[in-house]
Amino acid sequence: MENNLLSLIIFAPLAGAAINWFVGRRVRDERFVGIVACGAVAVSTIVAFYLALKPDGALHSEAPLLDHIWTWLQVGTFHADFALAMDRLSGTYALFITFVGLLIHVFAVGYMHGEQGFYRFFAFLNLFMFAMLTLVLADNFVLMFVGWEGVGLCSYLLIGYYFDRKEAGDAAKKAFITNRIGDWGFVLGIMLTFFVTGSVSFFANPAAGEVAHTALSFFKTQPVESFTAGAILAGGATSIAVLLFIGAAGKSAQIPLYVWLPDAMAGPTPVSALIHAATMVTAGVYMIVRCSEIFVHAPTAMFIVAVIGAATALFAATIGLAQNDIKKVLAYSTISQLGYMFLACGVGAFIAAIFHVITHAFFKALLFLGSGSVIHGMHHEQDMRRMGGLKKYMPITFTTMAIGWLAISGVPIFAGFFSKDEILWRTWSAPAFGLPSTAFSKLLWGVGALTALLTAVYMTRMMVMTFWGKERFRDTHAHKQQEPDAHHGPVEPHESPWLMTVPLIVLAVLSTVGGFIGVPYALSSAFTDRNVNVLEHTLEPVVATIPPGVHAEPTSLPGEGAHAPENAPAPVPEPVAHEHSSEEISAERMLAGLSVLIGLIGIGAGWYLFSSRPLLQMPRVLENKYYVDEIYDAALIRPIEAASREGLWKIFDIGVIDGLLHGVGEVVTEMGRLARHLQAGFVRGYAAIILLGALILIGLFAYLGFPTVTP
Partner 1 sequence: MEPQLSWYLALSAVLFTIGVTGVIIKRNVIAMFMCIELMLNAVNLTFVAFASFFQDVIGQLFVFIVMTVAAAEAAVGLGIIIAIFRNRESLDVDEASILKL
Q: Which residues lie near partner 1 (CB under 8 A)?
A: 680-684, 687-688, 691
Task: Tell me whether residue 489 or residue 693 sits nearer to partner 1 (CB atom).
Answer: 693
591, 428 contact by CB (below 8 A): yes
Helix (H, G, I), strand (E, B) or coil at 651: helix
Task: Tell me whether residue 637 or residue 691 sits nearer to partner 1 (CB atom).
Answer: 691
User: Is it true that the peptide bond before 256 is cis, omega within 30 degrees of 0?
Assistant: yes
Nearest distance, CB of residue 683 and partner 1, angstroms: 4
Task: Tell me whether residue 526 or residue 683 sits nearer to partner 1 (CB atom).
Answer: 683
Nearest distance, CB of residue 709 and partner 1, angstroms: 19
Nearest distance, CB of residue 697 and partner 1, angstroms: 14
The torsion angle over the Cα atoms of residues 503, 509, 511 and 513, rounded to 10 degrees, is -150
Task: Tell me whether residue 491 or residue 698 sits nearer to partner 1 (CB atom).
Answer: 698
252, 284 contact by CB (below 8 A): yes
Task: Tell me whether residue 626 or residue 701 sits nearer to partner 1 (CB atom).
Answer: 701
Nearest distance, CB of residue 680 and partner 1, angstroms: 7
Task: Tell me whether residue 234 or residue 687 sits nearer to partner 1 (CB atom).
Answer: 687
Torsion 133-136-142-148 (CA) sign: positive
Task: Tell me whether residue 491 or residue 694 sits nearer to partner 1 (CB atom).
Answer: 694
Residue closest to 68 by CA, chosen among 132, 139, 11, 147 = 139
Q: CA-to-CA distance for 366 and 359, rounded, in angstroms?
A: 11
Nearest distance, CB of residue 711 and partner 1, angstroms: 21
Q: CA-to-CA distance for 32 and 465, rounded, in angstroms?
A: 38
Q: CA-to-CA distance for 13 and 282, rounded, in angstroms?
A: 20
Q: CA-to-CA distance for 289 and 92, rounded, in angstroms?
A: 12
Task: Tell me whether residue 631 or residue 687 sits nearer to partner 1 (CB atom).
Answer: 687
Task: Tell me whether residue 682 or residue 703 sits nearer to partner 1 (CB atom).
Answer: 682
Task: Tell me whether residue 230 or residue 685 sits nearer to partner 1 (CB atom).
Answer: 685
Q: CA-to-CA distance for 232 and 19, rounded, in angstroms?
A: 47
Identify the helix (H) or strand (E) that includes residue 679: none
Nearest distance, CB of residue 693 and partner 1, angstroms: 13
Give the distance between the most distant pair of CA atoms in the chain.
Answer: 119
Nearest distance, CB of residue 692 and partner 1, angstroms: 10
Task: Tell me whether residue 673 or residue 684 sits nearer to partner 1 (CB atom).
Answer: 684
Count Cβ atoms within 10 A of the Cβ of residue 549 and give its class: 0-12 exposed, 13-18 middle, 19 or more buried. Answer: exposed
Nearest distance, CB of residue 685 and partner 1, angstroms: 9
87, 541 contact by CB (below 8 A): no
Nearest distance, CB of residue 668 and partner 1, angstroms: 22
250, 181 contact by CB (below 8 A): yes
User: Is it true that the peptide bond before 571 is cis, omega within 30 degrees of 0?
Assistant: no
Task: Tell me whether residue 643 or residue 695 sits nearer to partner 1 (CB atom).
Answer: 695
Nearest distance, CB of residue 701 and partner 1, angstroms: 16
Nearest distance, CB of residue 665 and partner 1, angstroms: 25
Q: CA-to-CA distance for 535 and 575, rounded, in angstroms?
A: 11
Strand 78-86 to 65-75 pairing: antiparallel
Nearest distance, CB of residue 691 and partner 1, angstroms: 6
Nearest distance, CB of residue 166 and partner 1, angstroms: 56
Task: Tell me whether residue 74 or residue 679 sits nearer to partner 1 (CB atom).
Answer: 679
Q: How far is CA 186 from CA 139, 350, 449, in A?
A: 16, 20, 31
> Which residues have C-beta within 8 Å of that of residue 679, sequence separation ≥ 6?
none
71 beta partners: 81
Helix (H, G, I), strand (E, B) or coil at 153: helix
Q: How far is CA 378 from CA 22, 312, 485, in A?
A: 33, 32, 17
Residue 278 has what DSSP assignment?
Answer: I
469: left (phi over 0), alpha (psi -120 to 50) or beta: left
Q: CA-to-CA distance for 219 and 229, rounded, in angstroms?
A: 20
Instruction: Report the residue count for the chain.
Output: 711
